[in-house]
Amino acid sequence: MTTYRDAGVDIAAGDETVDRIKGLVRQTFTPGVLADIGAFGGFFELPSGYQAPVLVSSIDGVGTKLKVAVRAGQHDTVGQDLVNHCVNDIAVCGARPLFFLDYFGTGRLDPDVAEQIVSGFVAACKENGCALVGGETAEMPGIYDDGDYDLAGCIVGIVERDGVVDGSRVEAGDVLLALPSTGLHTNGYSLARAVLFEHFEVDDRPDELGGESVGEALLRVHRSYLDAIQALIADDLAHGFAHITGGGIEGNTSRIVPDGLGLEIDWDSWNRPAIFNLIGRLGEVPEEDMRSTFNLGAGLVAVVPPEKRAHAIAVWDAMGETPFEIGHVTG
């Protein structure tokens, strides 16, 4: 059994697994990673070219989406969920990710599960240009039941001091442009599980989901909006961005709206993805709870001045995104 501490991934597993994981992690290394110094990863040289660099950091978990992964026996998506969620949380203020670290707490460590989880971190880190520089794996049977685990991820990014997007420029009349979510992302799973597993197994394919299984629909990866956000920032097209997580569209968008202004959301102006309608119908969930628990199909909201609306839509269209308008800021 090799204790693997290189690149900060602390995991005891068979040599083959360790080598594979080591190889995977190294694929994420960006030029800033100083892999030749120190006994563990985690040395990162700041990129040059910043006048007044500000580090932006965030830490998060995956929530009970993990229980769906365990139930479905599929562990290669939750690592992506975690990285993308973290990236989005710092991207909305204009930051670019630099590096990511993960914590994996479990009962008995299953090397195959560990490798799947790490592969998820790696895939998403590569996609976001973010180095995976540290990790801790804790085997604690007294705290986690067999097969259960928890994940936490910490991301550090960078933004120019005067490039921070904080919503202070948001004005009455600004338009709310949304980008679709891929599904629930990483919020609302306690309610979703309570409702759906009352009626279905993970492999069931209810008609409403058009061929997808319940497990597949629930495990769809929380996507990254980094490139989409950066594209609007590059042309100064938005006054603010909201990553739609716990609290829903209104809860999250209201955070970047200055005091004294409000939001008007036209909840009927877009088609909600089937998974939300299925949960709402089967669980007889009040509309108010649907709106505060789920993203309802909008994963990112950009707050755009009306005169830049067409330009913002064009930029997103050109990237293959499919924006839709969901409301505006009120005075």
Interacting residues with a second copy (CB under 8 A): 3, 5, 8, 34, 37-40, 42-46, 52-61, 63-64, 66-67, 90, 93, 98-99, 101-103, 105, 133-136, 138, 140, 142-144, 148-150, 152, 154, 156, 161, 164, 166-167, 190, 193, 247, 255-256
The distance of closest approach from Cβ of residue 240 to a second copy in the complex, given in angstroms and rounded to an integer, is 10
Is residue 100 within 8 A of residue 83, CB to CB? The reply is yes
3-state secondary structure of 263: strand
The distance of closest approach from Cβ of residue 307 to a second copy in the complex, given in angstroms and rounded to an integer, is 25
The distance of closest approach from Cβ of residue 37 to a second copy in the complex, given in angstroms and rounded to an integer, is 5
Q: How far apart are CA 198 and CA 26, in angstroms?
A: 42
Question: Closest Cα to residue 32, out of 94, 86, 85, 100?
Answer: 100
Residue 111: in which H helix or E strand, if any?
helix 111-128
Using the minimum distance from each CB to a second copy, give the nearer residue, 77 or 137.
137
Q: How far apart are CA 236 and CA 231, in angstroms?
A: 9
And the tokens for 132? 């995976």
And the tokens for 52? 């007044």
Using the minimum distance from each CB to a second copy, give the nearer residue, 241 or 316.
241
Using the minimum distance from each CB to a second copy, give the nearer residue, 166 or 208.
166
The distance of closest approach from Cβ of residue 142 to a second copy in the complex, given in angstroms and rounded to an integer, is 5
The distance of closest approach from Cβ of residue 84 to a second copy in the complex, given in angstroms and rounded to an integer, is 16
Using the minimum distance from each CB to a second copy, give the nearer residue, 127 or 136.
136
Q: How far apart are CA 57 and CA 123, in angstroms?
A: 20
Using the minimum distance from each CB to a second copy, give the nearer residue, 18 or 56.
56
Q: How far apart are CA 106 and CA 251, in angstroms?
A: 32
